[in-house]
Amino acid sequence: MKILRFFLKSFCLFLLFLVIACGGCYLYVKSAPKITINSANHIILYDQNQMEYFKGSESKEWVSLDEISPYLIQSTIYTEDKHFYQHFGFDFLRIGKAFLTNLKNRSMDQGASTITQQYAKNLFLDFEKTWKRKWDEAWYTLRIEANYSKDEILEGYLNTINYGHGKYGVENASKFYFGKDAKDLSLAEASLLAAIPKAPSNYSPLSHYEEAKNRQKMVLFQLSSNGIISEEEAENAFQEELVILGAEENEILSSIHYFQDAVMQELNDIPTIPKKYSDVGGLKIYTTLDYMAQSILEKNIKDSFPYDSTLETAAVVMNPSTGGILALIGGRDYNTSSYNRAMSSMRQVGSTMKPYLYYAALENGFTASSSFISEKTTFSLEDGKTYSPVNYNDKYGEKPISMGTAIAYSENIYAVKTHTFLGYDSLIQVARRVGITEKLESVPSLPLGTNEINILHMAAGYSAFANLGYKVTPHFITKVLDGEDHVLYQNDENKELVLNPSLVFILNQLLTATYDPLYIDYNYPTAISLSSKLKHTYALKSGTTSGDNWNIGFNKNIVCAVWVGYDDNQDLTTSDYKYAQNIWYQTVEEIEEDLPETDGWYEKPKNVVAMLVDPISGKPLEDPSKNKKLMYYLKGTEPKETDPTFDEIVYEENG
């Protein structure tokens, strides 16, 4: 009890000091210049064509208090700050209760922020949990209270608060969730809407309906216990069936919120951007978004999956010349899950790892015709163990095959033989050079994609192939201006040559084998179904594990990476493997629809020669009437009939 009395006495003294200090501060801020709130934290996002597609906390439809349903106003006040009209920014009684509750429970679960404090935080501050931020919040709260009436503060709060799904302001939220103006909200609708701002991602009636209803019940209880409505009215409102629309009249892309979140994440990492946007009168952020590409990608994803499927996806469309992200989707439905898989998830990449290996091979003396025997093989490892990879569908040619054939069929045996021949570090070094930073294990299975890599990072890595050897940094922001159009940040879009352009050209040609009918032999190219669908030329590689399916393809104009899988890592079914490929080819072809068929592909470097060979073996043609393909080599490395296979040199016993 002595300890409790000590804490109570200390708290009372602290409270008295706080009251006196706040009174003095109030007099000071009352005489200071009036703080401006109508431009605070205004963030406007533009796409690459300077079309405005988002306005941060600046509501697009500002409404006055008399244009807002009284039910919504009352629900907000009695849920968030019932003494709003009595205090001058701080509810000390509530602070005291929260302090005692947290002390008793030995936690920090209870908060006591007033509407004015929340408004100050939303307008002027970041969300770091530091003492400095708490002090700044208190200071801004006093300045707002000293310079604006309670009605002005409440009106501003309701017009700028986050109601989830990128909807700021009560009018925008009312139209999004219920398709009506804020003044027309019923008690049931208003109480459900007022439940959201406490934790928009947790209380959205679209993605967490039960949690939203539980929170609504608490809102209605507050109204009834304070005599605003009767218990019967509260119960009827709770039981009322509501139609939640989750749509907008102007059909703004729902997936654009994934892109928007990525922009804000990048913005927070730029050191030249002030944390308090009010210091610079708001921000104008020019982004790399191609609105048309985002629209195409969203449509193709929505049209691909069965409605009741729990499959998820993530996709990135990138400009390989600059590293600018043209389109990005982090999941099938932002309203259901705002988790950005394209930015945050790590998945096994399967055979999309192999192009890094085959570039390393070309750099170490291999050519498009270099061959290994396609047959079941057991590898003896240094630790005395063995490793026996298998090809997809357990198909083997039982003969030497070229690198082009290995790429066409995504041959695992050829890949592991190449990996072992070069040494495990060769693949890792190439991956590091193009920007893959994830942990890569030096094991024989690495080229089969057993490690997990982020989707955006894989797209960036493939960009080094698409731009003939230059490493680029993926980014979403090109320029940031303040409220007076002063440049605060400019992305220089630097790139670094990390690969040999001539060897990359040869690799890119080889990656067209994945849908080339000339490679039909003992197996079929992995994307042969696309041979008649693609009007433009792309390098393409798929990747498959038990729980992941990838398609990454490119030309010099775009890189497009698509992943499909389940969030809980459950195995894919046979029918699940079609979605990534369909989304990929439909997206790239629609984006390039108006371009000539030859646009986007590469001119042959001067030190590269073309030669007609048998595509399966990679050997020069003896019989011109047989199957033949034009393949590319550095001058002086063209194949000869007498060339031995690597298998004959290295592997004498195969299991």
- Among candidate residues 202, 465, 231, the one with its CA nearest the CA of residue 338: 202
Q: Distance between CA 448 and CA 388 in Å, rounded?
A: 13
Alpha-carbon distance of 629 to 610, in angstroms, equals: 10
Please give the DSSP secondary-structure letter assigned to residue 63.
-
Q: How far is CA 274 from CA 110, 484, 489, in A?
A: 30, 15, 11
* Per annotation, catalytic residue among 207, 351, 369, 410: 351
Residue pair 360/354 in contact by the 8 Å Cβ criterion: no
Measured CA to CA, the distance from residue 413 to residue 98 in angstroms comes to 65
| Residues 560 and 590 sit within 8 Å (Cβ to Cβ) | no
Q: Residue 623 is which amino acid?
A: D
Give the Cα separation of 243 and 176 in Å (integer). 11
Say whether 351 is catalytic.
yes
Tokens of 401: 């095959």
Strands 283-287 and 43-46: parallel
List all residues 6 or more positions away from 484 whose beta carbon is below 8 Å from its beta carbon.
Answer: 280, 281
Answer whether 326's CB lies under 8 Å from 290's CB. Answer: yes
- Is 113 one of the annotated active-site residues of the chain? no
What are residue 608's DSSP bridge partners? 634
Which one of the listed residues 57, 75, 80, 145 is annotated catalytic? 80
Question: Can you count the helices (H) and strands (E) in the chain?
Answer: 21, 20
DSSP class per residue in 334-399: TTT----HHHH-EEE-GGGGHHHHHHHHHHTT--TT-EEE-S---EEPTTS-EE----GGG---SS
Catalytic machinery residues:
80, 351
